[in-house]
């Protein structure tokens, strides 16, 4: 998966939805699927990440400077807040992955179901970034 969204740097003085000047914790949870996944990855403001799978196994690492910068730009994108305000509809898929993303106090997500339409763009970009940058499968 690649992050395809082009994101400009936030304007001077802009903050992430958490309102703390770019130092916002990001938590992504993936659930569902045929195997009944329940995985969570948390990225701290300094780029350290922890992945915990449904069995309780834990992996840790640190985002590269480039990935941390991209994470911060995506987290500060005003479209993320708009995506969080979108109403959700029931999914047409069974056994699809559900992604829930928390960026500070902003929560958004989607079900990875092709018949549900396109997922929210910034949310999807953050999910793809975290998958790629952490080797999360």
Q: Which residues contact 21 (CB under 8 A, 6 or more apart)?
A: 15
The pLDDT tens digits for 9-48 are 433 333 334 444 456 899 999 988 766 678 999 999 999 9
Q: Specify the range with the lowest mean pLDDT, choosing from 9-13, 55-59, 71-75.
A: 9-13
Show Cβ contacts of residue 57 under 8 Å, excluding neighbours closer than 6 positions: none
- Residue length, the chain? 137
Range 71-77 average pLDDT: 96
* Confidence tier at 124 by pLDDT (50, 70, 90): very high
Phi-psi region of 91 (alpha: psi -120 to 50; beta: other; left: phi over 0): beta
């Amino acid at each position: 998966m690649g992050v395809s969204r082009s994101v400009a740097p936030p304007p001077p003085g802009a903050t992430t939805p958490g309102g703390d000047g770019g130092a916002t914790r990001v938590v992504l949870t993936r659930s569902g699927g045929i195997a009944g996944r329940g995985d969570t990855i948390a990225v701290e403001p300094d780029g350290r990440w922890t992945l915990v799978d449904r069995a309780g196994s834990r992996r840790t690492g640190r985002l590269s400077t480039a990935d941390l910068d991209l994470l911060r730009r995506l987290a500060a994108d005003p479209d993320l807040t708009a995506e969080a305000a979108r109403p959700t509809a029931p999914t047409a898929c069974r056994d699809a992955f559900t992604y829930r993303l928390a960026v500070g106090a902003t929560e958004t997500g989607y079900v990875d179901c092709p018949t549900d339409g396109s997922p929210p763009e910034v949310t999807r970009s953050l999910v793809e970034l975290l998958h790629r940058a952490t080797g999360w499968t």
